[in-house]
Amino acid sequence: MELEFIRDMFDGIARRYDLLNRLLSLRQDVHWRRKMVSALNLSQNDAVLDVACGTGDVIIEILKQCNCIQQVVGVDFSLRMLQIARKKLTAVRKGGAVRLIAGNGLHLPFPEKSFTAVTIAFGIRNIVDRKTAIRVFFDCLKPGGILAVLELTTPENRYLQSLYLLYFKRLLPKIGAFFSKHLKAYSYLPESVIGFPGAREFAGIMKEAGFKNIQWRHLTLGAATLFVGYKPTESIAQ
Ligand SMILES: C[S@@+](CC[C@H](N)C(=O)[O-])C[C@H]1O[C@@H](n2cnc3c(N)ncnc32)[C@H](O)[C@@H]1O
C-alpha cells in the first residue's frame, strides 16, 4: 500500500523530477551526489549497485568519475523514472557496463556479495522498513564493500532549522505542485524528511545491520547528510 503510493507518486512526477530537484535544492543536489560518489573511491574493477536510482543521476556521476568502471546496476520500482534514466544514459554512454532493473529495493534480485559498493541517494527516506533495506544492502556487498547513503535532512542548528522548515513546509510544496502538477508529492517531501531519523539514530541502524567504521557528514548546513559504512572483511565478520 505504502510502496504503491510512493511508486505511483514518482511515476507521476518523473517528467519534472530533475528540473524540480535542481530548482528546489538550488542545484545543491548535483554537488551532493558528487560528494557521495567521490566518497566511494571508485576504481575500474568495482561493481556498484545504485538502489532507488530514479532518473539515473547517481549513475551518470559514477560514469563521470570512473569512466571505465566494470559494472553499474541501477534498481528502481518506478518505470517512468527508469525510462528517463535509460534515455539520459543512452545520451552519455553506449557501453554495456550499466544495467537498469525494475525492482523493489527491499527484495533485490542479486546473489550475496555481488557488489563492491551500494549507493542510495534520496531513496532510503521513502522506504518505511529501513532496517530490512539496510540489511539487504549489507548482504549484497562483498566483504570490505562500502555503503553510501545520501539523504535530505533538517539542519541541527535551531535558527537555521526554523528558517529551513519555513521554506520546506510553506514555499517548497507550492513550487513543487506548480511545476509538477502533482499536489501530494511535494507535501509528502517535507513530511518524509522531517520524519527521517537523526544522524546518530540512522548510523545505529547501519551498525545493527553489521556495518563498521560508520561516518556521516552534513552537507550544505545539514540540508543533506552523507553516511558511509563498510562491510567487515570476512575474517573480522566471523
Ligand atoms: C527522490 S528519488 C531519488 C532518485 C535518485 N536516486 C536521485 O538521486 O535523484 C527516490 C526514488 O526512489 C524510488 N524508490 C522508492 N522506494 C523504492 C523501493 N522500495 N524500491 C525501489 N525504488 C524505490 C522511487 O521510485 C524514486 O525513483
Q: pLDDT tens digits for 125-173?
A: 999 899 999 999 999 999 999 999 999 999 888 888 888 888 878 888 8
Residue 19 in any domain: the answer is yes
Given a cut of 80, is residue 50 above it in pLDDT? yes
Residue 226 in any domain: the answer is yes
Domain count, the chain: 1
Q: Could you tell me the pLDDT band of residue 238, with boundaries at 50, 70 and 90?
A: very low
Q: pLDDT tens digits for 183-230?
A: 777 777 888 888 899 999 999 999 999 999 999 999 999 999 999 999
Cα separation, 229 vs 235, in Å, equals 17
Helix boundaries (H) for the chain: 2-24, 28-39, 57-65, 79-92, 130-140, 158-166, 172-180, 185-194, 199-209, 234-237
Residue range of the domain that includes 39: 2-153+198-233
Residue whose entry in the numeric block shows the C-alpha cell 510512493:
6
Given a cut of 80, is residue 116 above it in pLDDT? yes
Residue 181 in any domain: the answer is no
CATH number of residue 62's parent domain: 3.40.50.150
Q: pLDDT tens digits for 62-103?
A: 999 998 898 999 999 999 999 999 999 988 865 568 999 999
Please choose from 24, 30, 49, 81 the residue to mutate so as to test ligand 1's pocket, defined by most ligand atoms within 8 A of CB: 81
* Rounded distance from Cα 135 to ligand 1 centre (Å): 18
Cα separation, 73 vs 166, in Å, equals 37
